[in-house]
Each structure stands twice: as structure tokens, then as C-alpha cells.
Amino acid sequence: MLKIDEILKKNSLVANRYIKKNNVYFIDTKDTRYVVKKNKYSTDIYNYLKTRSFDYYPKVLNSENDDYLITEYIEDIDLPKEQKILDMIDLVSLLHYKTTHYKEVTEDDYKEIYEDINSNIDYLYSYYMDLITLIETKVYMSPSEYLLASNISKLLASLTYAKEELNDWYNEIKEIKKQRLVVLHNNLELNHFIENERPYLISWNKSKIGLPIFDIYRLYKKHALDFDFSEILNRYEKKFPLLPTEKKLLFILIVLPDKIEFDKSEYENTLEVSRVINCLYKTEKLVLPENSKK
């Protein structure tokens, strides 16, 4: 708190009240409210966004070298979440459009991506084969174990599909010498989007340069069961169309099931298995129609 007081004083701000929520402080002064949080932001990303005329984030009021960052507080307007997610994806497509650049790459760059994903697929396949072998030795399965056993063929099929698609992707892309990169927010979820007179993305502490699909992938992993992602993806691609190899890689990533660990209460374990299985069926409805267009 002492460091926060020092930074406020340095910026001629006098706090009347402190409100702490998780790792964020809301500081009320006589005239207005500010947000103060531990400074984990990349100065390079902020500077780059400024050069690309992308300023859809809360204004930073102090030095980016301070231990804590002071930003303006923006009151969020209450909107239906279905409208909000579409407005958010519009802003993400704008971010990617404004920060697009190309990098010279070699086959080794793609091989690193290939080997990383392929290793993950092999690990998950082996993990689930061992898990189902253990479950099937039991005389009485728990509800969560029975639910997994009933759907194991769907789960293993998704891993087989991902491996086949990954091999196709690598064969298609390994001769391409340029890679399209953008600024990734890299922490997309509905709670990190605010609308008032204009839209804002907040929580940029994980931002970096990377392939555009990773923002879509992380948003999908967070909200796959909350929205119709075919509509969200179509909305995004109206302003920032994905390249065929980019979309293939996106679909490979989202069909990979999360690792289920039976380390909680039976109720929580059953909910987790149900979530993973429901995500598989939801993803199948997204991916298969897209592939049938080819």
C-alpha cells in the first residue's frame, strides 16, 4: 500500500477511499475513480499499439516503469452477453487488422509448432488409454467414471482426427516462407471487455506478438459452451479473414480435449467430465460444417 501511496502522490492524486477486488485497487479521489494494479504490462506492446492507432484500452496515467499502473476507470454498460461478445470480437478483429505484419520463417519454425502439438496429442491419447483401462477394471464405476467410459470413443476419435489434420497442416505449410503475425491480447474473455461510449479491452498483461488464431482459441476455450461460435467466427472473418492454414491450425487446437483428472469431489469430477464431453460435441458442430465446404 505504501508504494501505491507514493505513486499516487507523485501523480498529484489524493485518495479518499481504497477498494480492493482480487489483485486490483479502485482508488476514489475527490473527483473521480482510478484503477491501480501491479505493473506486469509490456511497454513495447503499448508503444506499438500507439503507432498503429489502436487506443481501445484504458488510458495509462503514470509512468509505465512504476511498480503499479494507474489507469482511468471506465464504467461498463450493462448489455446482453450475446451482443457484448460480438462487439468484443469486432474489436479483436480490428486489433489484428491494425497490427498485421509478416515475418520470414523456415521449415524449422513450423516444425517446432508441429512437434509441440503432436507431442501433446500423443500424451493425451496415452493418458486416456491408461485411464480407461484402469476404469474398466473396476466392478463398480463412479458416475464420473461411467460418463467418461460411455464417451471415450468420441474423445479418442477427436485426438485421432487432430493428429491426421496436424500432419496435413504441416505438409501444406512447411514450404511457406512468410508467417502472418499480430498483436495478441492473449487473455480474452468477456470480463476483459468494457463498453461505454466506445469499446475497450482491459487486462493486457499477457499480450504478445503471435499467430492471430491464438486469441480466438483462448476465447473459445473460455466460452465454448456459452455462445454460438460459428456466428462469432463468421463475424471475426468479415473483417479479418483467416488464411486456410490458420483456420486448420485453429480447428486442430480446439478439438483437443482438456485433460480430466479425478482429483476433486465426485460431484465436481462429474461436472468436469460433462464439460469436456459437451465441448467435444459443440466443437464437432463447428468444425465439421467448415470442413465439408472444402
Instruction: Give the pLDDT confidence score for residue 64 in this predicted structure.
Output: 66
Question: By the 8 A CB rule, do 61 and 70 touch?
Answer: yes
Instruction: Give the pLDDT confidence score for residue 190 in this predicted structure.
Output: 96
For residue 195, the SS3 value is strand
For residue 38, the SS3 value is strand
Instruction: Give the pLDDT confidence score for residue 140 in this predicted structure.
Output: 93
> Residue 180 contacts by C-beta under 8 Å, 6 or more apart in sequence?
100, 101, 102, 211, 212, 243, 246
Per-residue pLDDT of the chain (294 residues; tens, 9 = 90+): 557 777 777 777 787 888 888 888 888 888 888 888 877 766 678 788 989 999 999 888 776 667 778 888 898 999 999 999 999 999 999 999 999 999 999 999 999 999 999 999 999 999 999 999 999 999 999 999 999 999 999 999 999 999 999 999 999 999 999 999 999 999 999 999 999 989 999 988 899 999 999 999 999 999 999 999 999 999 999 999 999 999 999 999 999 999 999 999 999 999 999 999 999 999 999 998 766 555
Instruction: Give the pLDDT confidence score for residue 21 in this predicted structure.
Output: 84
Instruction: Give the pLDDT confidence score for residue 160 in this predicted structure.
Output: 97
Q: Which sequence spans correspond to the domains of the chain?
A: 2-42+58-73, 96-292
Angle at Cα 284 formed by Cα 278 and Cα 289, nearest 5°? 145
* Cα 168 from chain centroid (whole Å): 25
Instruction: Give the pLDDT confidence score for residue 61 in this predicted structure.
Output: 79
DSSP string of 223-255, one letter each residue = HTTTS-HHHHHHHHHHHSPPPHHHHHHHHHHHH
The C-alpha cell at 11 is 501523480
> Residue 120 contacts by C-beta under 8 Å, 6 or more apart in sequence?
256
Cα–Cα nearest to 259, from 127, 73, 119, 138: 127
Record: fold of 96-292:
Aminoglycoside 3'-phosphotransferase; Chain: A, domain 2 (3.90.1200)
Instruction: Give the pLDDT confidence score for residue 145 in this predicted structure.
Output: 97
Cα–Cα nearest to 270, from 178, 145, 118, 83: 145
